Amino acid sequence: MLNSITKLFKQLLEGNDLGDQHKADPNLAIACLLCEVAGADHQIDNNEIAAKKQLIGRLLDLDAAQTDVLLNRAEERSKQSASLYEFTSQLRELSQETRYSLIQAMWQVAHADGEIDPLEDAVIRKSAELLYVDHHDFIRAKLSVTESKSAP
């Protein structure tokens, strides 16, 4: 116990970021955010699973096998996570357009079952804030998904 506390203080004094225990992996962070949205209402249906797979493959240009591996890692990581900040902090360097596309993808996952639960909305709203996506773009992304009849 004392050794672990000593190690913690050494890391702090040396300037090591304690968050580096999980190396930065933007693709994993993106997949985790989509998993967070799908699981926000504690009801993940097959449409949401299919939407996550399709969107991750399209956003990250991955084949089906790579997508499945990434999703499995993301689901495990998402279960262990305490906050969205763990994921969004890795994605702030992305272009504004890419961050908008991510928020739009999150809306597509949330709407894949035909309705957006308030808990899903809250996860997307918080993610957009943490990613510095303007409220105007947050709403534009939501409307682009909910007003179109074709889900992912």
CATH of the domain at 71: 1.10.3680.10
In the chain, the number of structural domains is 1
Which of these, 68, 46, 38, lies nearest to 56 by C-alpha position?
Answer: 68
Residue 4 lies in a domain: no
- What number of other Cβ atoms are within 10 A of residue 113's Cβ? 19
> Which pLDDT does position 140 carry in this prediction?
96
Residue 5 lies in a domain: no
- Rounded Cα distance between 40 and 44, Å, is 9
Calculate the alpha carbon distances from 141 to 51, 67, 87, 146 in Å.
Answer: 16, 23, 20, 9
Average pLDDT, the chain: 85
Residue 31 lies in a domain: yes
> Which pLDDT does position 55 carry in this prediction?
93
Residue 20 lies in a domain: no
Residue 11 lies in a domain: no
**Domain membership of residue 104 as a residue range:** 25-146
Calculate the alpha carbon distances from 10 to 1, 21, 23, 32, 90 in Å.
Answer: 14, 15, 19, 30, 24
Residue 151 lies in a domain: no
Residue 76 lies in a domain: yes
Residue 10 lies in a domain: no
Least confident of 13-17, 114-118, 121-125: 13-17
Residue 67 binned pLDDT confidence (cut-offs 50, 70, 90): very high
Higher pLDDT, 141 or 23: 141
Helical spans, DSSP H, in the chain: 2-14, 26-39, 46-60, 64-80, 85-88, 96-111, 118-130, 135-146
